[in-house]
Amino acid sequence: MIVIAFFAGMSIQLAALGGAALLLITRRLNPERVFNEIDWGLLVFFAGLFIVTKSIETAGFGKYLSITLEPYLTKNTFSLALSSAALSNLVSNVPAVLLYRPFIPNLISPEKGWMILGMATTLAGNLTLLGSVANLIVAETAKKYSINISFMEYLKAGVLITILSLSIGIFWFDVIL
């Protein structure tokens, strides 16, 4: 139903909301069972990331950041990728993209800038548990099965994976594209 609604021209958000509502009202799934599966703490954390990001933007810090750092961050593929990778691990990858939103359109090649930003923030999400909310979801799910993934344990694998994947991505944008 959701796929049909999407191809009929409905927005993705509205189609997903309509599909979820339909599942709840048709009683094919017990709503209590669905609500019990939701990790409310993680959901609040994720919402909090967007609140902090919007607060930074509303307070004008995002604009100040973009004016001050734009000349340094957008010099080349390496500087944009490295800075967005670092920010991704401070505020998570999706909010990091929102903070870069003001100055990517001002680049010589905005399309390439968006692709570099997408590549770097996605791959940098592998560095730490905080780099991507997906990492936290996996760690929280593992905890339910008595598997503890510590920050340092995750970092051991994350550093190597992130360095290799970002290096390949930067090479791809600088040499191949």
Tell whether 75 and 99 lie within a shared domain.
yes
Average pLDDT taken over every residue of the chain: 85
33 vs 169, which has greater pLDDT? 169
Q: Which residues of 27-49 are buried (b: 16+ CB within 10 A; e: fewer)?
A: eeeeeeeeeeeeeeeeeeebeeb
Contact 124, 162 (CB under 8 A): yes
44 shares its domain with 108: yes
Q: How confident is the model at residue 20 (pLDDT cuts 50, 70, 90)?
A: confident
Q: Do 158 and 83 belong to one domain?
A: yes
Using the predicted structure, report yes or no on whether residue 93 has a pLDDT greater than 70: yes
Assess contact for 127 and 162: CB atoms under 8 A: yes
Same domain, 99 and 118: yes
What pTM value is reported for the model?
0.72
Tell me, yes or no, whether 43 and 33 share the same domain.
no
Q: Are residues 19 and 84 in the same domain?
A: no
Q: Do 2 and 55 belong to one domain?
A: no
**Residue 27 and residue 95 in one domain:** no
Q: Give the count of domains, the chain.
A: 2
118 vs 1, more confident? 118
Domain residue limits at 7: 1-37
